[in-house]
A and B are shown apart, each in its own frame.
Chain A
């Protein structure tokens, strides 16, 4: 239904209502379309008046819809009036009303009222992160940075994940302000990005850059750049942090992989205890490896060729420089078939160690174990993103560790353009996170907001350095 353009009299509303196919939901439908068409609020008011006069009451959900219309149009005084009415009629309000009220008020000069509303929400439930977002944005827009940070810490304490918009707002509205405390807080946000391996998007990155450059008397300068494979920044020649884990982190990760990924709730789900023991013994006897290869994954790279030929190419390619290779596969590869020729398999076994798991076992788990057991220098080859294994880890800290380790140790590959050989993309030699040395900052960023492939680390960086 198209809402009317001008306020209507009671009879006119009645007429409209009767012509509507299901009169019992007429008001609801009408309000919905008013919100959709952004009708003038006078029209909505005339309907409310008509309803109030004929029923003596207006249902809560209709008041909410009217409130949504007012919020949409920034009608602050109306929002306050609706709030008064809601307060009088109802003992408590639910989250929908609070969301609308807070959103509406924070965009006006009555934004402080929204803070008292936030307190009210807290009495019954935890406010949502968008509630906090509105309030923090309003506070920082009015240069009340202390208040904004107070709210920010409060939401972190409530285990809410701040939106990128909140973080960006802090940088946007702190521009040109001086103060050691403020600077410390903003550096705190950057280290939050680092700890959670969050990459800012382009506009957020720009806000960070502008803030740095605006700090009075500190003379920061930012450049956009791509980091070389060696991990050196072309702008300031600074060497980025390497991706090695500390010994403690490494041991921790290894233990957790064995416990959560390989054993999980039931060792029989991915392998069997006998098989895993046999594999452990096999690995211990031949340690350490330099590269561990997921044989079946590699063998599927070029679908037109025989699978064992693909694997053969890959092994030959990686076997340079006396690297010790371990290829993981399944027992069915040993049976002479159209895809797996016995002679080629024999020849390969001279160049690399092979372990064949049962056909129903998961070789990925073995891949992770063998690589981790061989030490920090050992890399692994697979196109698998290993997301399911990351998901079986039980806490986010270990998942972050896993991600970091994976970035630094996974060799990906792809067929070359002419399809003749395989290209290997070496693992990152540097760690792809926000990092600082005090007078330099290096911040990786995503090109757009939507880019959300968590496994792909960005290649673009913001380099900020302080000139003395």
Chain B
């Protein structure tokens, strides 16, 4: 109802002519504005002549004449006025002012918005909703286009046996699904366990938990499709936890049929401690090879504010061995934190398990984070890297030149 009103308002404001048609039922409420708008059209016709002095303040008259419609509408709306409605109005004004604000907002989102502790938190939340809306719209448009294209193609190929092939495709996908499930089921008996530790809910915001679950869903799917899947364990997963709720949101009925082991027990209760290795970027130990007899643990934590040492603290508390990926050793690190997303970890571990090839495995580290694989001594590469960076960001050019000159003269002296 609210948004309908807003829409109406917009139509009224933007064009004069459709006004009467849109407001057929309300017509008797504001006869005055109607005549005004008609007179407006007349005025427009008159001003068509090129000669004559410009009346610079004429726009004010036009703007002020729009008065009646607004007033009558406010009168009709006043009864549903509340804090929520006020917030909605402010949002609408922000949208008109050109800020990133979603067009439609649900009651629930509005409440979250009002509960944001600060102005910047509010701004961020609105921007997030706005972007989400834009993405959704784009996706929908693309889907529609695709459907249209498909319908057209079908029309063109209605005589040929296109339909048969489609059903074959369907059967094939079905068979693949079955094959995958078979493999995962086997891994649940014979496969190497891999543990996702679900004990970080209190360290994360709601959005971080949502993201973590999405990453786990991606990891699970790539595990299912791999040649030799892990036997996934979701440990420390409590009933009614946020994780659980998000999982059910993602998988719906499939959650019960998922071929993973879900438990609220800790991994230390299930497996012998000396077999467990906790993977964390903060670990002082660097992983050298992938061990097929060990059980690796990944902390299911998305940590946008870089809380260092949370998972390391957990491993320390339980007295477990820890390890970090040898990112420094194989990659010339450029920018970004060394903690990777859960699905990236999954890809890397699967590749290691199948091939043991670090170079191949570390292909899954996002390209923006590193500049290349290490094939020369690291310190030499670092020098070129800093040179590249200074050339890229002109600001520090001067500094680089000075540094270079210093190094260069040092070299000369050494010779």
Contact = CB atoms under 8 A, between A and B. Distances in A.
Interface in B38-60: 40, 43-44, 47, 50, 54-60
Contact of A61 (B16, B47, B98, B203): B98
Contacts of A124: 86, 90
A440 interface: no
A147 interface: no
Contacts of B43: 53
A430 B399 CA distance: 38
Interface stretch (A88-96, A161-169, A371-379): A88-96
Nearest to B40: A56
A58 interface: yes
B56 A42 contact: yes
**A-side binding surface: helix, strand, loop or mixed?**
helix
Given A64-B97, A269-B312, A58 B58 contact: no
B14 interface: yes
A272 interface: yes
A128 B59 CA distance: 31
A52 interface: yes
Interface stretch (A5-13, A112-120, A233-241, A402-410): A5-13
A54 B44 contact: yes
Interface stretch (B63-71, B225-233, B293-301): B63-71
B313 interface: yes
Given A85-B64, A88-B66, A88-B70, A53 B90 contact: no
Contact of B54 (A49, A61, A88): A49
B97 A268 contact: no
B97 A266 contact: no
B89 A92 contact: yes
Nearest to A270: B309
A125 B93 CA distance: 14
B189 interface: no
Contact of B63 (A10, A88, A92, A94): A88
A215 interface: no
A84 interface: yes
B64 A58 contact: no
B278 to A, nearest CB: 12
B24 interface: no
A94 B90 contact: yes
A9 B60 CA distance: 17
Given A7-B54, A61-B97, A94-B90, A55 B14 contact: yes
Contact of B284 (A48, A128, A360): A360
Range class of the B interface residue count: 35 or more
Contacts of A10: 47
Interface residues of A, number: 46
A60 interface: yes
A359 B317 contact: no
A7 B52 CA distance: 13
| Residue from A57, A270, A359 whose CB has the most chain B CB atoms within 10 Å | A57
A56 B17 CA distance: 10
Contact of A269 (B50, B56, B98, B309): B309
B110 to A, nearest CB: 15
Contacts of A57: 13-14, 62-63, 66
A318 interface: no
Nearest to B86: A124
A10 B56 CA distance: 11
B62 A92 contact: no
B245 interface: no
A265 B310 CA distance: 9
Nearest to B314: A268
B89 A268 contact: no
Contacts of A268: 312-314, 316-317
Given A124-B86, A359-B284, A360-B284, A7 B56 contact: yes
A327 to B, nearest CB: 22
B60 A59 contact: no
Contacts of A265: 203
Given A11-B50, A53-B58, A125 B90 contact: yes
A195 interface: no
Contacts of B60: 81, 85
Contacts of B40: 56
B335 interface: no
Given A54-B44, A56-B37, A49 B56 contact: yes
Interface string A148-162: 000000000000000
> Which of B40, B56, B90, B312 has the most chain A CB within a 10 Å cutoff?
B56
A91 B97 contact: no
Interface in B76-93: 86, 89-90, 93
B15 interface: yes
- Of B58, B59, B316, which is in contact with the most chain A CB atoms at under 10 Å from its CB? B59
B74 interface: yes
Contacts of B308: 269
Interface string B271-285: 000000000000010
Contact of B93 (A45, A52, A60, A85): A60
Contact of B64 (A51, A84, A92): A84
B55 A49 contact: yes
B94 interface: yes
B413 interface: no
A54 B47 CA distance: 10
A61 B316 contact: no
Given A10-B47, A52-B63, A270-B309, A46 B90 contact: no
Contacts of B254: none
Interface of B: 13-16, 37, 40, 43-44, 47, 50, 54-60, 62-64, 66-67, 70, 74, 86, 89-90, 93-94, 96-99, 119, 203, 284, 308-310, 312-314, 316-317
Given A7-B54, A91-B74, A359-B284, 12 more contacts: A10-B47, A28-B98, A45-B57, A56-B40, A56-B62, A57-B66, A60-B97, A61-B98, A125-B90, A265-B203, A268-B313, A360-B284
26 contacts: A7-B54, A45-B56, A45-B59, A49-B54, A53-B43, A56-B66, A57-B13, A57-B14, A57-B66, A58-B59, A59-B96, A60-B97, A85-B63, A89-B66, A91-B70, A94-B93, A94-B94, A97-B93, A124-B90, A128-B119, A266-B310, A266-B317, A268-B316, A268-B317, A269-B309, A269-B313
Nearest 9 A/B pairs, CB to CB = A268-B313, A52-B59, A60-B96, A94-B93, A52-B62, A45-B56, A48-B59, A269-B313, A61-B98
Interface of A: 7, 9-11, 28, 42, 45-46, 48-49, 51-61, 64, 81, 84-85, 88-94, 96-97, 124-125, 128, 265-270, 272, 359-360
